[in-house]
Chain A
Amino acid sequence: MLKSVPHHVAHHFEDADQEFDAAKIGMWLFLAQELLFFSALFVGYGVFRFLHPEMFLHASKLLSWKMGLVNTMVLITSSFTMVLAVWMTQMNRVRESIRLLWATAGLAMVFMVIKYFEYSSKIHHGYLPGSWFSAADAYEHLHLFFTCYFLITGLHGIHVLIGVGLILWLIRKSKQGLLHKDYYTPLEMVGLYWHLVDIVWIFVFPLLYLVG
C-alpha cells in the first residue's frame, strides 16, 4: 500500500465537496470550450464535403480505414483503462491505478505511432494540404481533403500528446501518495479530458476514413 497524504482544502472554500464541485463545473466548461475549438474545423470539413462530395468519396479511399479502425479501437481501449484507473483509486487500489495509467499512456503512444506511419505514407505520396499537394493523383480539389485531414488529425494529435503529459503527471502524483480514495480530483479531471479526446476521434473516424 502506498502511503496516502491527506489533502488540504484551499482556504477560500468551505469544504472538500464545494472544492470538488467547483473543479468539476470548471472542467466541464473547459471541455465545452474544447468542443467549440474543434468545431470550426468540422464546419470547414462540412462545407468542403458539401461542395465536393465525389472528391471526398475518392479521397477517403486513399486513407487506410484499417489503420483508422485500429486507432479507434486503441483509443477506446485507452478510455476504458483510464476510467478503470479512476475506479481503482476510488477503491483505494492505487498500485493498480498506476498500472492502468501506464497502460493508458502506452495506448496513447501506440495511437501516435500508427498516426506517424499514416502521416509518413501520405507525405511520401505527396497527399498534402493546399499548395503542398504534389501527388500524381490530380482529382479536382483533392488537396482540400488533405487540408481537412491534416488540420483535424493534427490538432487532435496535439491533444493526445498533451494528454500523455498529463497522465505522466498523474502517475507521479499517485506514486507520491497524493491521490487516494479521499482525494482524486486531478485524476478525475484528466480522465474527463481524455474521454473528450476520445469523443473527438469517434467523430473523426467515420467522417474522414469512412466516407463511402
Chain B
Amino acid sequence: MVHSASSSVNFFKASSGWRSWLFTLDHKRIGIMYLVSIIIAFGLGGLFAMALRLELLSPSPILFSAKEYNQLFTLHGAIMTFLFIIPSIPAALGNFLLPIMIGAKDFAFPKLNLASLHIYILGSFFLLASLFVGGVDTGWTFYTPYSVETDTSTVMTTLGVFILGFSSILTGINFIVTVHKMRVPGLTWMRLPLLIWALYSTAVIQVLATPVLAITLMLLIVERVFGVGIFDPALGGDPVLFQHFFWFYSHPAVYIMILPAMGVISEIVTTFCKKNIFGYKIMAASSISIAVIGFLVWGHHMFTSQSPLASAIFSFLTFFVSIPSGIKLFNWVATMYRGNIDLKTPFLYFLAFLFLFFIGGITGVVLGALSLNVHLHDTYFVVAHFHYVMVGGTTIAFLGGIHYWWPKITGRMYSETWARVACGLIFLGFNMVFLVQFFMGSKGMPRRYYTYLDQFQPMHAFSTSGTWVLGLGFILVVFYLIDSLLNGEQAPANPWGGLTLEWRAASPPVLENFDTPQQVTHDPYDYENGSIPHA
C-alpha cells in the first residue's frame, strides 16, 4: 500500500504507472489530476469562445448558423462554469494545498476525495457528450420553458451538471471536516492562512447550495421526460419557479467562484510585500459573511421576471453583499502600504486582480440597482460584468496561484521574463475583449445574439481582436510552463520567502507532506516574529 513506502521520497516518485495516479488516495496527485482536467476544460471552453467572437466580427454569417452559434455559447458557458471555474481553485489548488497548509497528512476522507474526482470525470463525459448528440442551445442557465421544448439534448447536459454537483458537494464536505479536525498543534482558527478561511467558506456554500441545483436539474429532466407540469405554464406550472430554484444555487455559486480567488490573492499579497495582512480578523469574517449573505440575493437575477416587491427587496439586499468584498479590497491595498514589494509574476497577477475585480464588483453593484438593471439586464453590460469577475477575478487569481505555487507543486522554476510578458498580454487582451462590452451593453446590445445592428460593428470587431491577444497570452503560459517542467531549474523549498506551512515542506512535497511533525507558533503572516523557513 501507498503508506508503507519510505516517506522521504517526493510524491511524484513514490509510485508509478497509471493506476498509481487514477486510484491514488494522495491528495496531491488528486489535485494534479484535477488541475490537468480543468486546464483541458479551459482550453476547450476557450476555443469555443474564440470561435464565438470570430463569428461576431461581422453582423452577417461567417462560420456558423444561428443555431450552431446558440449551441456554442451554451457549451462555452456550461464548460467554463461547471468544468473550469467552480472546480478551479478549490478542487485543483485547494486539493493540493489545503492539507499541507494546515500541516495534515491528507484530507479526513481520502477515498471520498478520490470519489469526487471520479464523479467529476464521469459528469464531464456526460456534459461533453451532448456535443455529439445534438448539442444544447438553452444557455448555461437552462431556463424553462425553452429548455423543455428545444429539440437539442438538454437531458444529457443537465445530467452531466447534476453529476458534477455531487463532486462539488463531496469536496466541500471533505474540506470542512478537514479544517475542523486535522490542523496541526498550535494552528488555531485565528492562525489559519486566509486561503484556508476562503476555502472553508466556499465549502459551506458548496454543501448548502449545490444540492438545490441538483434537485432543480432533476426536476427539469423529469419535466422534460415525463411532463409533470411543475414548470409548464400550460399545465398550471410556473417557469419562473425554475429561475428561483436555479439562482438559489447559482448566485451562491458565484461566490464559490470568487471566494477561493480572494484567498489566493491574500496569500500572494502578504508574501510579496513581506508584511502582515491588514485586518486579519475582518478578512476571515468577511469570507464567512460573503458566504452567508450570498444566500439572500439570488433574486437580483430575476428583476424582470419576479414581482416588483420581491425585486425591491432583493435589490436592497444585494447592496449588502458588496460590503465584505469592498472591505477585502481596501485591506489588500492597505497591506501594500509600506510593504517590501517584490514585483514577481504572482504579484503582477495580484495587481491585475485588484483592478479587474474592482471593475467587476462595482458594475455588479450597478446591476444590483433595480432601476438600472431593468435597462441593462440581458445586455452585454451583464456579460462584461461577469467576465470581469470570473475571468478578471477568478481566472487571474488562479493564474497567480499557479505561478505562486508552481515551484512547490512541480519542484521547478519557470521563466520569470516570459511569465511577466504573458501576464501583460493577458491583462491587455482581457481588457480589450471586455471593456468595450460595457459600452455596447449600455447602448442596448443584447446578449446571446447571433447578429447585431451595424453601428455596433467597430466595437464588436475590437472586442474580437482582443481575444487574439488574450489567446496568445494563454498559449505563452502553456509553453513556458511545459518548458519549466522539462528544463526548469530546481526550485528551493521556499523560493518566495513565504511564512505559511506549505513553504516548510519540500518542493515537491514528500508523500505525506512533512518528514517531521510540524507545530505552529505564530500568526500566518507575522513577518516580525515568525522566522521565514529555509531548506
Query: Is A136 on the interface with B (CB-CB < 8 A)?
Result: no
B177:A26 contact, CB within 8 angstroms: yes
Query: Is A117 on the interface with B (CB-CB < 8 A)?
Result: no
Query: Is B181 on the interface with A (CB-CB < 8 A)?
Result: yes
- The interface-forming segment of B128-136, B230-238, B390-398, B411-419 is B230-238
Query: Is B105 on the interface with A (CB-CB < 8 A)?
Result: yes
How far, in angstroms, from A130 to B222 measured CA to CA in the complex? 11
Query: Is B523 on the interface with A (CB-CB < 8 A)?
Result: no
Identity of the chain A residue whose Cβ is nearest the Cβ of B215 in the assembled complex: A40
Identity of the chain B residue whose Cβ is nearest the Cβ of A143 in the assembled complex: B229
A143:B212 contact, CB within 8 angstroms: no
- CB within 8 Å for A41 and B177 given contacts A12-B105, A143-B235: no
B181:A22 contact, CB within 8 angstroms: yes
Identity of the chain B residue whose Cβ is nearest the Cβ of A20 in the assembled complex: B181
A146-157 interface bits toward B, Cβ cutoff 8 Å, 1 = contact, 0 = none: 010011000000
Query: Is A8 on the interface with B (CB-CB < 8 A)?
Result: no
B232:A130 contact, CB within 8 angstroms: yes
Residues from chain A with Cβ under 8 Å of B372 in the complex: none
- CB within 8 Å for A34 and B222 given contacts A25-B177, A47-B241: no
Residues from chain B with Cβ under 8 Å of A12 in the complex: 104-106, 108, 110, 182, 512
How far, in angstroms, from A10 to B394 measured CA to CA in the complex? 36
How far, in angstroms, from A92 to B72 measured CA to CA in the complex? 61
Query: Is B245 on the interface with A (CB-CB < 8 A)?
Result: yes
- The interface-forming segment of B50-58, B203-211, B478-486 is B203-211
How far, in angstroms, from A40 to B245 measured CA to CA in the complex? 7
Query: Is B199 on the interface with A (CB-CB < 8 A)?
Result: no
Q: How far is the CB of A24 from chain B (nearest CB, A)?
A: 9
A129:B207 contact, CB within 8 angstroms: no
Residue from B109, B178, B215, B248 with most neighbouring chain A CB atoms (10 Å): B215
Query: Is B102 on the interface with A (CB-CB < 8 A)?
Result: no
Query: Is A36 on the interface with B (CB-CB < 8 A)?
Result: yes
Residues from chain B with Cβ under 8 Å of A44 in the complex: 219, 230, 241, 245
Query: Is A21 on the interface with B (CB-CB < 8 A)?
Result: yes
B211:A29 contact, CB within 8 angstroms: no
Contact of B228 among A32, A43, A151 (CB under 8 A): A151
Q: How far is the CB of B3 from chain A (nearest CB, A)?
A: 5
How far, in angstroms, from A81 to B472 measured CA to CA in the complex? 65
Residues from chain A with Cβ under 8 Å of B18 in the complex: none
Identity of the chain B residue whose Cβ is nearest the Cβ of A129 in the assembled complex: B228
Residues from chain B with Cβ under 8 Å of A32 in the complex: 207-208
Residues from chain B with Cβ under 8 Å of A18 in the complex: 181-182
How far, in angstroms, from A40 to B215 measured CA to CA in the complex? 7
A63-104 interface bits toward B, Cβ cutoff 8 Å, 1 = contact, 0 = none: 000000000000000000000000000000000000000000
B329-341 interface bits toward A, Cβ cutoff 8 Å, 1 = contact, 0 = none: 0000000000000
B173:A40 contact, CB within 8 angstroms: no
B100-127 interface bits toward A, Cβ cutoff 8 Å, 1 = contact, 0 = none: 0000111011101000000000000000
Query: Is B279 on the interface with A (CB-CB < 8 A)?
Result: no
A40:B216 contact, CB within 8 angstroms: yes
Residue from A11, A12, A44, A131 with most neighbouring chain B CB atoms (10 Å): A12
Q: How far is the CB of A185 from chain B (nearest CB, A)?
A: 12
A30:B173 contact, CB within 8 angstroms: yes
Query: Is B291 on the interface with A (CB-CB < 8 A)?
Result: no
- CB within 8 Å for A129 and B226 given contacts A33-B208, A41-B215, A144-B236: yes
- CB within 8 Å for A131 and B227 given contacts A30-B173, A32-B208, A143-B235: yes
A1-31 interface bits toward B, Cβ cutoff 8 Å, 1 = contact, 0 = none: 0000000000111000010011001100110
B173:A29 contact, CB within 8 angstroms: yes
A151:B219 contact, CB within 8 angstroms: yes
How far, in angstroms, from A22 to B174 measured CA to CA in the complex? 9
Q: How far is the CB of B144 from chain A (nearest CB, A)?
A: 13
Query: Is B176 on the interface with A (CB-CB < 8 A)?
Result: yes
Query: Is B264 on the interface with A (CB-CB < 8 A)?
Result: no
A147:B216 contact, CB within 8 angstroms: no
Identity of the chain A residue whose Cβ is nearest the Cβ of B245 in the assembled complex: A40
A37:B228 contact, CB within 8 angstroms: no
A130:B241 contact, CB within 8 angstroms: no
A130:B209 contact, CB within 8 angstroms: no
Query: Is B169 on the interface with A (CB-CB < 8 A)?
Result: yes
In the A-B complex, the 6 residue pairs with the closest CB atoms: A130-B229, A37-B211, A131-B227, A130-B228, A129-B228, A12-B105
Can you list 30 A-B pairs with a CB-CB distance of less than 8 A? A12-B105, A12-B106, A12-B110, A18-B181, A21-B180, A21-B181, A26-B108, A29-B177, A32-B207, A33-B173, A33-B211, A34-B211, A37-B212, A37-B215, A40-B212, A40-B248, A43-B245, A47-B238, A52-B236, A129-B226, A129-B228, A130-B230, A130-B235, A131-B227, A131-B229, A131-B235, A143-B235, A143-B236, A144-B229, A144-B236
Given contacts A11-B105, A25-B177, 10 further A-B contacts (CB under 8 A): A18-B182, A26-B109, A39-B212, A41-B215, A41-B219, A132-B226, A132-B227, A143-B236, A147-B237, A151-B222
